[in-house]
Structure 1
Amino acid sequence: MRTPHALLATTVTTAALAAAVVAPAPAEAADTVPPPGAYYVQSAATGLNAAGTTGTTGTVEQRRPRGDEDHQRWNLRADGASHLLEDTDSPGTCLGRDGDGARTVGCANPEARWEIAPAGADRFTLAAPGTGRRLTVAPRPSGATHPAALAVGAGTGDLALWYLTPVAPVTRPMPPEGERTLDQVTFLTAHNAYANGVDGGFAPPFVSLFPNQSRGIERQLADGVRGFMLDIHQTPDGAILCHNSCTLVSRPVALWVDLQRIVDFLRAHPGQFVTVFLEDYVDPGVLRAELARVQGLSDVLYRPDRTGVREHGWPSMGQLAAAGQRLLIFTDHGRAADEAAGLTRDTFGVMYQREWTVENHWSMGPGLGASDWSCYSRWYDAGTNIPLTRTEPGFRPLFVMNHFRDTTVASTAGTDNSKLADRAGRFCRPAARKKPNYLAVDRYDLGDPAAAVASLNTYTYP
Structure 2
Amino acid sequence: MRTPHAPLTTTVMAAALAAAVVAPAPAAGADAVPPPGTYYVQSATTGLNAADSAGTVEQHRPRGDEDRQQWNLRADGAAYLLENTDRPGVCLGRDGDRARTVACTGPDAPWEITPAGADRFTLAVPGADRRLTVAPKAPGATHPAALAVGTGTDGLAAWYLTPVGPVTHPMPPRDRRTLDQVTFLTAHNAYANGVDGGFAPPFVDLFPNQTRGIERQLADGVRGFMLDIHQTPDGAILCHNSCTLVRRPVALWVDLQRIVDFLHARPDQFVTVFLEDHVDPGVLRAELARVRGLPDVLYRPDRTGVRENGWPALADLTAAGHRLLILTDHSRAADRAAGLTRDSFGVMYQREWTVENHWSMGPGVGASDWSCYSRWYDAGTDIPLTRTEPGFRPLFVMNHFRDAALASTAGTDNSKLADRARRFCQPAARKKPNYLAVDRYELGDPASAVAALNTYTYP
TM-score, length of structure 2 as denominator length: 0.94
Distance between the aligned counterparts of 1:28 and 1:373, measured in 2?
29
1:43 aligns with 2:43: yes
Distance between the aligned counterparts of 1:321 and 1:365, measured in 2?
37
- The corresponding residue for 2:196 is 199
Distance between the aligned counterparts of 2:130 and 2:109, measured in 1?
13
Q: Size of the alignment, in residue pairs?
A: 437
- The corresponding residue for 1:351 is 348
Once the two structures are superposed, residues 164-191 of structure 1 have per-residue CA deviations (whole angstroms, 9 ceiling, x without a partner) of 0000000000011121000000000000
- The corresponding residue for 1:434 is 431
Structure 1 residue 110 displacement after superposition? 1.0
Alignment of 1:210-225 (within 5 A): 210-225=207-222
Given residue 223 of structure 1, which amino acid in structure 2 is its aligned partner? D
Structure 1 residue 3 displacement after superposition? 5.4
- The corresponding residue for 1:10 is none
Once the two structures are superposed, residues 412-435 of structure 1 have per-residue CA deviations (whole angstroms, 9 ceiling, x without a partner) of 000000000000000000000000
Distance between the aligned counterparts of 1:157 and 1:383, measured in 2?
21
Alignment of 1:277-316 (within 5 A): 277-316=274-313
Q: Percent same amino acid among aligned pairs? A: 84
Given residue 35 of structure 2, which amino acid in structure 1 is its aligned partner? P
The secondary structure found in structure 1 opposite 2:155 is helix
Once the two structures are superposed, residues 239-291 of structure 1 have per-residue CA deviations (whole angstroms, 9 ceiling, x without a partner) of 00000010000001000000000000000000000000000000000000000
1:418 aligns with 2:423: no
Once the two structures are superposed, residues 28-74 of structure 1 have per-residue CA deviations (whole angstroms, 9 ceiling, x without a partner) of 962321000000000000000000135xxx10000000000000000
Given residue 440 of structure 2, which amino acid in structure 1 is its aligned partner? R
- The corresponding residue for 2:8 is none
- The corresponding residue for 2:94 is 97
Distance between the aligned counterparts of 2:328 and 2:159, measured in 1?
31
The secondary structure found in structure 2 opposite 1:52 is strand
Change (3 A) 1:411 1:225: same
- The corresponding residue for 1:21 is none
| Contact 1:379 1:386 survives alignment (8 Å) | yes
Distance between the aligned counterparts of 1:163 and 1:133, measured in 2?
18
- The corresponding residue for 2:20 is none
1:119 aligns with 2:116: yes
Task: Compute the RMSD of aligned alpha carbons.
Answer: 1.2
1:319 aligns with 2:319: no
Change (3 A) 1:171 1:28: closer
Structure 1 residue 216 displacement after superposition? 0.2
Alignment of 1:51-450 (within 5 A): 51-54=51-54, 58-450=55-447
Distance between the aligned counterparts of 1:217 and 1:379, measured in 2?
28
Given residue 159 of structure 2, which amino acid in structure 1 is its aligned partner? W
Structure 1 residue 221 displacement after superposition? 0.1
Structure 1 residue 156 displacement after superposition? 1.2
| Contact 2:28 2:35 survives alignment (8 Å) | no
Distance between the aligned counterparts of 1:112 and 1:300, measured in 2?
57
Q: Which runs of 5+ in 1 are unaligned?
A: 5-26
| Contact 2:43 2:160 survives alignment (8 Å) | yes
| Contact 2:230 2:236 survives alignment (8 Å) | yes
Distance between the aligned counterparts of 2:400 and 2:415, measured in 1?
11
Given residue 425 of structure 1, which amino acid in structure 2 is its aligned partner? R
Structure 1 residue 86 displacement after superposition? 0.2
| Contact 2:298 2:322 survives alignment (8 Å) | yes
The secondary structure found in structure 2 opposite 1:260 is helix
- The corresponding residue for 1:20 is none
- The corresponding residue for 2:23 is none
Given residue 46 of structure 1, which amino acid in structure 2 is its aligned partner? T
The secondary structure found in structure 2 opposite 1:158 is coil
Given residue 159 of structure 1, which amino acid in structure 2 is its aligned partner? L
Structure 1 residue 206 displacement after superposition? 1.4
Distance between the aligned counterparts of 1:321 and 1:150, measured in 2?
47
| Contact 1:2 1:450 survives alignment (8 Å) | no
The secondary structure found in structure 2 opposite 1:295 is coil
| Contact 1:379 1:387 survives alignment (8 Å) | yes
| Contact 2:102 2:108 survives alignment (8 Å) | yes
Distance between the aligned counterparts of 1:227 and 1:30, measured in 2?
33
Distance between the aligned counterparts of 2:53 and 2:340, measured in 1?
50
